[in-house]
Chains A and B, each alone.
Chain A
Amino acid sequence: MPSPQDRARVRNGWLLSAPALVLLAMAAAGPLLVVLVYSFLEAGQYGGVEWAFSTDAWFGILFSKDIFTDETMLADAHLAIFWRSVKLSLLTTLITFAVGFPTAWFIATRAPRARAMWLFLITIPFWTNLLIRTFAINEVIRNEGILNSLLLWAGVISAPIQIIYTDTAVLIGMAYVYLPLMVLPLFAAIDRFDMKLLEAAYDLYASRLQVLRRVILPIVKPGIVAGSILVFVPSLGAYVTPRVLGGGKNMMIGNFIELQFGQGRNWPLGAALSMLLLVIVMVALLAYVRAANKGAGHGH
């Protein structure tokens, strides 16, 4: 039970953080509000908006009008982009988990000094510009790149494999870029994991797989949830990586939004798409966290 003093302290805390809250409101809520308002306006002829209320943008997310017959039909191209974004983001999350979990486990079980070094190595790419890292990946996987040259030289393949400008390229790039975001929370969770529990479970007739499924995974779950969110959310809005590695064809939501504000000259559609992206992320997060909590079960 919070005592009156506690409550007073909480109240004072609010007052003290008022400047920060104002800043937050201007920096976060303000722009969001602008975007929301823009999504209900008419598109200007050369970009920008006309100050007239319209739901065309929201309508335009799912439907498009045939220019000749004026017929309304489902915009499958848009749906394909949405679907690809969600699919690639989910796959990125899975891949980073599959790679990141053993990595985090490895690091967490090293001696303290070695551990610091591994963590440092994992975070190094973070200190390099995203664009440069993405171009580095490009350099590796493009047709005349390092990977293909090596394979050709070794005689494994006779013609370059087309990786660049495919979904696979985007996946490789995103998995690489977001891996540290998965490894770090997993490491934090595994680091707190009491290794004695492994022996306890093994002693109590659990097989190695059961130790993993019944003891390790449930206990480090907060780390898994945090890592998945940290990877999935930016993946869904990724812009640079699909642009550089996916080329023009393999667009994700982020590129599609950018298109509306650029060549597409449809700011309201771009704004509506942005809002939709936000909603998708929120709903996905809520569903995920709720499912994760239910899995933990039996808690008070």
Chain B
Amino acid sequence: MDRSRNASLTSDETTAGPGVTVSIAVEARNAVKAFGQGEAAVRALDDVSVQIRQGEFFTLLGPSGCGKTTLLRLIAGFETPTSGQILLDGKDITADPPNRRPVNTVFQSYALFPHLTVAQNVGFGLQMQGRPRAEVADRAAKMLTLVRLDHLAQRKTSQLSGGQQQRVALARALAPQPKVLLLDEPLSALDLKLRKEMQIELKRLQHETGITFVFVTHDQEEALTMSDRIGVMSAGKILQVGSPRDIYTRPANRFVASFIGETNFLPGFYAHGQVALAGGHVPVAAGTKEGSTVTLAVRPEQVRLVAADAPGSLPATVRDLVYFGTDTHCHMALSDGSEVVARLQSSVSGEAGLEPGARVGLVFTEGAAQVLED
């Protein structure tokens, strides 16, 4: 990998900051996948382009049916794109069958071979690659140690618990040392406690093996806590790619803002570096077209309550208080009736003596309010 400052940006490299180049492990270029013919065709993927970096934990996040599995299956080779390309290490692999791609998959249903032992399952890929028997056994044992199942090597897979089967599936997919590991909602079948454990386990495995992980989930919290970068998908498109912090604090559009975390959406009008709302103005970063109607997105934790007539605040009336333990959600209405939720620390809101009907002023944390064009 050429990290020199002067390295030209070839197609499989991109900038990750000034002067640093990162190589791209896998890339989809204008990938389209349509199922069915003519009128009845479903565009599961609609012109998707995305670059996944070498060694990163990349998550595809989106609601059910948005095309996440389809994108993974294109990368794995189980489906061929209707148009567009899949590149691995800059090489076009669109026409390669799955057994010729150094990419492995962890299936949601695990898909372990019931006629083989745990160790044989893990060694299967290497065996099919024609590696010597001793190497296969040796690597299978190492992988089982890595996922902490070495004591179950000779079991049949049907004798394992769900969490253990999950680990076998991971070890089996990692054993041939693929360039990219694809994981399709691997944790969704596990109960909450086990899921939290496996999240940590997955991060550890990714760290220890250095393999690029492409992880699919519809759980935004899972995506935020685990990923280096997230691609948010909806209706066959990738709407935004960025770090969890990027996506959370600077959602590109209303869908991303509403899908990840909770958000207040307030209709307004942009002019001269501020957005006019019911009862006041909110200064925002420049860059929006003068005189356009916009939506202002503000996270509940970025809304603060001040005295009713404090300068620069928006007048609001408290509607309801919902207690969540450490936090209390304060539901309020602006003068035009649009609803705003503030997340307050329960200790603070208790002292403030808030109650439904109280008149308050709202201010947003500086720079927190995002302008979404309609």
Contact = CB atoms under 8 A, between A and B. Distances in A.
B111 A197 contact: yes
B117 interface: yes
Contact of A204 (B77, B117, B125, B154): B125
Contacts of A259: none
B352 interface: no
Interface in B337-352: none
Nearest to A197: B111
B107 A296 contact: no
Interface stretch (B29-37, B97-105, B190-198): B97-105
Interface stretch (A7-15, A124-132, A205-213): A205-213
B261 to A, nearest CB: 34
Q: Which of B105, B128, B154 has the most CB of A within 10 A?
A: B128
Contact of B107 (A200, A214, A299): A200
B225 interface: no
A236 B78 CA distance: 45
Contacts of A205: 99, 125, 128-129, 176
A207 B99 contact: yes
A248 interface: no
B111 A194 contact: yes
Interface in B73-122: 76-78, 97-99, 103-105, 107, 109, 111-117, 120
B98 A203 contact: yes
Interface residues of B, number: 28
Given A205-B176, A206-B128, A218 B99 contact: no
Contacts of A214: 124, 128
Contact of A296 (B111, B115, B172): B115
Interface in A193-248: 194, 196-197, 199-207, 210, 214-215, 218-219
A300 interface: yes
B136 to A, nearest CB: 12
B98 A219 contact: no
A222 to B, nearest CB: 11
Interface in A137-175: none
Nearest to A193: B114
A199 B107 contact: yes
Contact of B111 (A200, A298, A300): A200
Contacts of A219: 113-115
B156 interface: yes
Contact of B120 (A194, A207, A298): A298
Given A196-B107, A204-B99, A204-B128, 12 more contacts: A194-B111, A199-B105, A200-B107, A201-B128, A203-B77, A203-B103, A204-B104, A204-B124, A204-B173, A205-B176, A206-B124, A298-B154
Interface of B: 76-78, 97-99, 103-105, 107, 109, 111-117, 120, 124-125, 128-129, 154, 156, 172-173, 176
